[in-house]
Structure 1
Amino acid sequence: MIRIYHNSRCSKSRCALTVLEDSGKEFEVVNYLETIPTADELRTIIAKLGISAHELVRKSENIYKEQFKGRDLSDEEWVLAMIENPILIERPILVSDDLAVIARPTEKIYDIL
């Protein structure tokens, strides 16, 4: 089953959700601002994406610019920062059993479908 980490205020996330609905595939929606991923979940997502934790951080967010820009944090410190400030998590993220994608651009969804 596919899991989408979704923010309903984000147009890219809403678009990804529509593509999933139209695909006919079974999926689960996680509103990650309300149901914050655990550290283990974030580590798993990062591993499936094949990126560093810092690459999963939304650098356009004010909190990033005000508190984190220019800081040299470890992957674990970035994971903790995303848990404490889930708005920092890039979106939308789609995760299957063995793969994850950040659906930016939206066409990346098809890598997981």
Structure 2
Amino acid sequence: MIEVYHNPRCGKSRNCLAFLDNANQEYKIIKYLEEVPTAEELTDLLKKLNLKPIELVRQKEKIWIEQYKNQELTDEAIIQAMAANPILIERPIIVKGNKAIIAREADKIEAFFEGK
């Protein structure tokens, strides 16, 4: 089952769901602001995304700028920051098996499902 880390207030996230609906893909929505992923779950997600923790952070968020920007943070500290402040997690994220992408553009989503 495909999982989508979704924020209903985010246009890119809503567009991602619309793309999946139009492609007749079944999926499970994870409202990650309500169902906050643990540090362990984020670590697993980062492996599926093949990203470093800082690459998953929304670095323009006020919380990041005020509390974390310009600090030397370990990967573990960045993961803990995202677990404590899930608004920092980039969205939307599609997970299929052991692979995942940040699904902000339709062409990227399409390529993901075509295995490119």
Same fold (TM over 0.5): yes
Query: What is the CA distance between 1:101 and its match in structure 2?
Result: 0.3
Distance 2:40 2:67 in 1: 24
TM-score (norm 1): 0.94
Distance 1:66 1:28 in 2: 33
Distance 1:16 1:71 in 2: 33
Identity %: 47
2:83 is equivalent to residue 83 of structure 1: yes
Query: What is the CA distance between 1:19 and its match in structure 2?
Result: 0.6
Distance 1:90 1:26 in 2: 22
Measured against aligned partners, the alpha-carbon deviations of 1:53-76 in whole angstroms (never above 9, x if no partner) come to: 111000111111111111121111
Structure 1 consecutive aligned stretches of length 4 or more whose deviation exceeds 4 Å: none
Structure 2 residue runs of 5 or longer lacking an equivalent are none
Structure 1 residue runs of 5 or longer lacking an equivalent are none
Query: What is the CA distance between 1:104 and its match in structure 2?
Result: 2.4
2:68 is equivalent to residue 59 of structure 1: no
Distance 1:106 1:61 in 2: 24
Over the aligned positions, Cα root-mean-square deviation in angstroms equals 1.1
1:69 alignment partner, SS class:
coil
Hey, what does 1:5 align to over in structure 2?
A: 5
Aligned positions of 1:15-54 closer than 5 A: 15-54=15-54
